[in-house]
Amino acid sequence: MGEVFFKERFGARPEVTLFVPGRVNLIGEHIDYNGGRVLPCALGVGSTLSLKMRQDDQVTVVSDKFEGAISASLSDDMNQGWARYAFYAVRLAKRLGWVERGADIALVSTLSHGAGLSSSAALCVAVIKALRDVSSMSADDVEIAQLARRIENEDIGVPCGIMDQMAVAVAKPGQALFLDTESLDYDPIPLPTSHRFVVLHSGIHRELADGRYGARKQECDVAKEHFGTNDLCHLTLDDVVGNGALPEPVRRRVRHCITEHHRTVSAATALRDQRMTDFGMLMDESHLSMRDDFEMSVPGIDRLVEEAKVQGAIGARLTGGGFGGCIVACVAADGAEDWERRVLEASPGAFRVQ
Ligand code: GLA
């Protein structure tokens, strides 16, 4: 499908076509820039990208979701929405000496933008992987993830962690990736067949670049300065409870980091042992911590999480950067369709992602 679309739009065959999935994080939110562990997994939906190098410095990007082509020269800048990610990826590859020229790029995506499912990380990783392949460079997938994060941090200006890029570059379907965001060591854990992780979009769209993500990062920076560490997740609750020198809401933000990290470690063990009731309880606790301590939820998301539980999910929580986007719920595989129909009937605007 990606190749055909490329040929229709550019009148030639692409040199490379590849698929990069979106990701859903099962647990471990906003701790990938605070020294914590996270547990994302690859989605079945994602982006198929086709690319062909050009003889000039132009980068032209088309998508099946948008009319027309977005184009800019590598000696200029591109500041139009989603296509910037692809442009900056080519520019970075040129700076690294992987390629010398621009590229034509076509994107066919089943991933909705602004859903908190890493469509931008998937686009960056896809372009960098495609450029690695055409230039025969030997970068491994972890290096690809690090380069994609650099684009978010330095070019787009979102101070995100490495979770999304690692998940979409490395995770395989049917597994969760238990990732140490400091060392980048990871351990794949098979997903159970007894239960499904269902991802529902709340209908509330948001962008990481809208500033609220950055505001939380800044509050964590205040705590890092206070404690003289980058690693908030490895502080103890005694460090924060009753610490009068730490202002609110920073104290609650740190409490979330500490407890969320511990929940994620416990959740990984529960998943490995297939103790899904325990896993579900940890998801529920995670949602409360995101709602009350990290304050990254919104009422529409809280209602959807609650409906998911009322209808029988064993665990449900907001997933991703927050302030809208998706929830992930763990439901018994048997009866999952009925469960989903009941939740969606009771939740106008919500829809299923996976
Ligand atoms: C976004 C960021 C990630 C991570 C999550 C929250 O998806 O890109 O680095 O911080 O939010 O867990």
164 C-beta closer than 6 A to ligand 1: yes
pTM, two decimals, is 0.95
Q: Which atom of ligand 1 is nearest to the CA of 29?
A: 12
Residue 119 confidence class, pLDDT cut points 50, 70, 90: confident
Fold of 2-190: Ribosomal Protein S5; domain 2 (3.30.230)
194 CA to centre of ligand 1 in angstroms: 28
For residue 221, CA distances in Å to 245, 254, 256 come to: 15, 10, 14
- Mean pLDDT, to the nearest integer, of 327-354? 96
Distance CA 159, CA 150 (A): 9
Read off the pLDDT band of 67 (50, 70, 90).
confident
- Ligand 1 geometric centre to CA of 298 (Å): 17
Q: Average pLDDT, stretch 249-275? A: 98
DSSP code string of 48-83: EEEEEE-SSSEEEEEETTEEEEEEEETTS---STTH
326 Cβ inside 6 Å of ligand 1: no
For ligand 1, mutation pick of 29, 152, 163 (most atoms within 8 Å of CB): 163
pLDDT for position 351? 94
Residue 163 CB–ligand 1 contact under 6 Å: yes
In the reported structure, the alpha carbon of residue 335 is separated from the centroid of ligand 1 by a whole-number distance in angstroms of 31
Helix (H, G, I), strand (E, B) or coil at 329: strand
Quick one: average pLDDT of 117-127? 92
**Cβ contact 199:327 at 8 Å:** yes
Structure tokens at 208: 């990481």
pLDDT at 209 over 70: no
From its phi and psi, is residue 229 left (phi > 0), alpha (psi between -120 and 50) or beta?
A: beta
Q: Which atom of ligand 1 is nearest to the CA of 160?
A: 9
Ligand 1 lined by 160 (C-beta under 6 Å)? yes
Mean per-residue pLDDT, 35-56: 96
Answer whether residue 114 shows pLDDT above 70.
no
For CATH 3.30.70.890, the residue range(s) in the chain are 195-352
In the chain, residues under CATH classification 3.30.230.10 are: 2-190
Counting atoms of ligand 1 from 1, which one is nearest the CA of 121? 8
Percent of the chain surpassing pLDDT 70: 98
What's the mean pLDDT when you consider all of the chain?
Answer: 95
Which stretch of 28-42, 73-87, 91-105, 119-133 has the lowest confidence by average pLDDT? 73-87
pLDDT confidence of residue 244: 86
Examine the pLDDT at 20 and tell me if it is beyond 80: yes
Relative to the CA of 158, which ligand 1 atom is closest? 8
Enumerate the active-site residues. 164
CATH number of 195-352: 3.30.70.890
Q: Is the pLDDT of residue 81 over 80?
A: yes
Question: Is 80 exceeded by the pLDDT of residue 245?
Answer: yes
- Atom 9 of ligand 1, residue of closest alpha carbon: 161
* pLDDT band (50, 70, 90) for residue 208: low
CB of 34 closer than 8 Å to CB of 232 = yes
Higher pLDDT, 240 or 114: 240
DSSP 8-state symbol, 30: S
Q: Give the pLDDT confidence of 278-328 residue by residue, as tens digits.
A: 999 999 999 999 999 999 999 999 999 999 999 999 999 999 999 999 999
Pocket test for ligand 1, best of 160, 208, 293 (most atoms within 8 A of CB): 160
Atom 5, ligand 1: residue with shortest CA distance: 321
pLDDT digits (tens, 9 = 90+) for 143-163: 999 999 999 999 999 899 999
Going by C-alpha positions, the residue among 267, 281, 353 that lies closest to residue 317 is 281
Q: Look at residue 242 in the predicted model and tell me its pLDDT.
A: 83
What distance in Å separates the CA atoms of residue 15 and residue 5, rounded to the nearest whole number? 13
Q: Is the CB of 320 under 6 A from ligand 1?
A: yes
Instruction: Let me know how long the chain is.
Output: 354
